[in-house]
Structure 1
Amino acid sequence: MTNEELLDQVVKMLEQQTERIELKIELDVSKKIEALFDGYKLTHEKQWELEKKLAELERRIETLEIKAG
């Protein structure tokens, strides 16, 4: 086997490995990142909702304190 043939085999093996890695990233890692982002988005939306409710409750407490005072 010549050096050129050996080099060609190494290049083909590297291309195959690169393709496998790219597929794994595309199929596995990308899906996990999307799931994490969706979870973050839901958490952020829920936090915003709770902050609005808290602000409303604080306003109502202040109103009651004024009426009671």
Structure 2
Amino acid sequence: MIGYVVEREGNKVLIIEAENKNTSIWLSGAPEEIRIGQEIKVNYDGVVFFSNPAQAELGDYEIIRKVQ
């Protein structure tokens, strides 16, 4: 999934998908280098809970665009 970090709470980040703004997911286990405003490519680790927004553990990630 490629999206934007729109919120952070402790080690969790909320990502809104770039292609479909109605799709979002809370990912736990996010390191401090992931910050609000960044564009990021993420994979999930383990089970995805399909709440609204969905919830999962952060797997591999790549920061596409950093914020200043």
Give the TM-score of the pair, scaled to structure 2.
0.13
Relative CO higher for 1 or 2, CA cutoff 8 Å, sep ≥ 6?
2
Which is higher, the Rg of structure 1 or of structure 2?
1
Structure in which a larger fraction of residues adopt helix: 1
Give the TM-score of the pair, scaled to structure 1.
0.13
Structure in which a larger fraction of residues adopt strand: 2
